[in-house]
Structure 1
Amino acid sequence: MVSFAADSSLSQCAIFCAKDSKACMATLSDERTGQCLFFNSTLTGRETDSDDGMVYLERMPDCCYWTGSSRSSADQSSIYKDCQDAFEKGERNSGAVYTLRPNPNWRLIRAVCQFDHESGWTLIQRRLDGSVGFHRGWVEYVDGFGYLDKEYWIGLEAMFYLTRVNQKLSVYLEAHDGESRTANYSSFYIDDAEAGYTNHINGYTGDVEDSWAEQHNGMNFSAFDNDKDLSELNCAEKYKGGWWFSGCGPSNLNGLWIEGGKSSGVRGILWKKWKGYQYSLKVVHLLLGR
């Protein structure tokens, strides 16, 4: 046991634990007292639902998941189906981390929610400063990686469940000089693991030309160790990031973050129909909404 925190909800216990990811591997939330117990190892044999009022959550590498569940109505009040559900129940703290469960039979997801005056959006990917490497293998792209207060990828399995209830996608793009553009899609969802997490994306509007749906719609996801693109090249390996590649362009929002934006080849964070192949964007937000 590491420490206590008074007056804490289930989601707060998870967030406190995640802030010290090296020391905290599991937490018990006491429904009766509102306290958290933190542990530096998992508790073998611990039931996730028990009759003693203690709810067990266990960290999953690396970013955004928790095992365990709760039948408590008090705890469930702070777990939302998605960020739109959080908005409809009165949440307005845009940019904060919320605990989501889009499917009652699946594990908890921790994600950033962004709210405007009429809706909530779930942040599924964020690029900011190059602090997190996106040249990752298949398992990490499935499970998710990164840091919720910095750069992260929520994971393909989480996206599959989230896109069962959220099928709008907003893509925020920002260059190194602060200029920004937005691409919106009225329909976006991905298939399950068996189908290769194929993406289906249509209904473009925005103030930048489409570089996603035209060539990437209907493609399986590729990582450097699971090449599913249509090119003779391994696009994820060559261009240093997993994506729904057909050929090796015209977009790859998981490419290398490059200081200043000048890219050698197509290795950067790419949106070809705005900045071309030789430019790596600075900031990207992928947001799911209803």
Structure 2
Amino acid sequence: MGPEMTPELGTMMVYWSPALLLPLLVQSLPINEQDLPIDCEDVFRNGSIHNGIYTIYPVGQEVPMEVYCDMGCTDNDNHQGHWTVIMRRLDGTVNFDRPYSHYEEGFGDKNGEFWLGLQNMHLLTYRTKYMLRVDMEDFEEGKVYALYAIFFVESESDGYRLRVMDFKNGGAGDSLGFHNGQRFSTFDRDQDSWLWGGHCNKDHRYGGFWFNGGRWGCMHANTNGRYQWKNGRSIDGSGLIWQKWTPNSLKAISMKVKRLSLDELTS
């Protein structure tokens, strides 16, 4: 409907079509940040039930983050899904022997092998309580996992220090607890706790990790070592390591996080 002249008033009254007003209304409406998914749990609740790459907003719309979501598609009711994957090793196609800046920013292919990035891990886990699950597989098709009810990564100013507690065994044993409280180290950034001048990564080229160091060694776990394409003991410790389960280098390993439910927070 266009403008219409009213003889009684001698003025023009303008009627606007709703179709013309709609774009203006849409542009003026603020984005409700409560509707933005902060992790894969929200992505699932919003109706996306398949594994894949999605965009989440753990700290608001100004900082989008692309992640791989493990929705538990192999379960009929998805009850074990909704995990946000933060790293994955499968086949050695991605080089994990990288400098600190790469580990800070993230690298790899989220449909394959990747590292989400220390900064992203911090942004994802420092506001809300998360659990961590580490899934692993050996070359004989054995599969186990380790679950930690508390997991978060400190800020860059604290060396992206690892906080992991309250272990629950899924057959793998607790290898990551040895690294609790350690800062992240790479060959060009020594932040391990070796007190006698040693450098876990530079001396052994393990790949970046939360190395410990000193009397009890550098690691009981390392998800980021050099990939080995066969079953066998890692003589120099440079493979994918989870010592509490096997002395051999692993075929595959992944780390994924999920927000704690209200029941889990109060239990």
Q: Does 1:186 align with 2:149?
A: yes
Q: Kindly provide the CA deviation profile for residues 207-266 of structure 1, in whole angstroms up to 9, marking residues without a partner as x.
A: 1210011x2101111111111112243212314311111121111111111010322321
Unaligned runs of 5+ in 1: 1-50, 55-70
Residue correspondence of structure 1 range 163-182 to structure 2 within 5 A: 163-164=125-126, 165-182=128-145
Q: Does 1:210 align with 2:174?
A: yes
Which contiguous aligned blocks of 4+ residues in structure 1 show a shift greater than 4 angstroms? Answer: 71-77
Structure 1 letter corresponding to 2:106: G
Distance 1:81 1:186 in 2: 19
- Tell me the residue number matched to 2:7: none
Q: Kindly provide the CA deviation profile for residues 92-149 of structure 1, in whole angstroms up to 9, marking residues without a partner as x.
A: 112x100111001652111110123235110000000000010111100000000111
Q: Does 1:102 align with 2:47?
A: no
Distance 1:212 1:106 in 2: 33
Which among 122, 131, 152 is matched to residue 84 of structure 2?
122
Following superposition, the deviation at residue 173 of structure 1 comes to 0.7
Q: Kindly provide the CA deviation profile for residues 40-67 of structure 1, in whole angstroms up to 9, marking residues without a partner as x.
A: xxxxxxxxxxx9x99xxxxxxxxxxxxx
- Tell me the residue number matched to 1:93: 50
Structure 1 letter corresponding to 2:255: L
- Tell me the residue number matched to 2:199: 234
SS of alignment partner, residue 273 of structure 1: coil
- Tell me the residue number matched to 1:225: 188
- Tell me the residue number matched to 1:12: none
Q: Does 1:249 align with 2:210?
A: no
Distance 1:246 1:289 in 2: 26
Distance 2:161 2:31 in 1: 36
Distance 2:71 2:241 in 1: 26
- Larger Cα-atom Rg: 2
Distance change in 2, residues 1:75/1:187 (3 Å): closer
Structure 1 letter corresponding to 2:89: R
Following superposition, the deviation at residue 178 of structure 1 comes to 1.1
Distance 1:72 1:177 in 2: 54
- Give the TM-score taking structure 2 as reference length: 0.76
Distance 1:105 1:82 in 2: 13
Higher relative contact order (CA 8 A, sep 6+): 2
Distance change in 2, residues 1:75/1:204 (3 Å): closer
- Asked whether the 8 Å contact 2:187–2:205 carries over to 1, the reply is no
- Asked whether the 8 Å contact 1:256–1:280 carries over to 2, the reply is no
Unaligned runs of 5+ in 2: 1-23, 73-77, 260-267
Distance 2:199 2:94 in 1: 22
Q: Kindly provide the CA deviation profile for residues 14-60 of structure 1, in whole angstroms up to 9, marking residues without a partner as x.
A: xxxxxxxxxxxxxxxxxxxxxxxxxxxxxxxxxxxxx9x99xxxxxx
- Give the TM-score taking structure 1 as reference length: 0.70
Identity of matched residues, %: 32
SS of alignment partner, residue 181 of structure 1: strand
Distance 1:75 1:102 in 2: 10
Distance 2:130 2:155 in 1: 15
Aligned-pair Cα RMSD in Å: 2.3
Q: Kindly provide the CA deviation profile for residues 133-185 of structure 1, in whole angstroms up to 9, marking residues without a partner as x.
A: 10111100000000111100000000001113351000001111211110000
Following superposition, the deviation at residue 286 of structure 1 comes to 0.5
Q: Does 1:289 align with 2:258?
A: yes
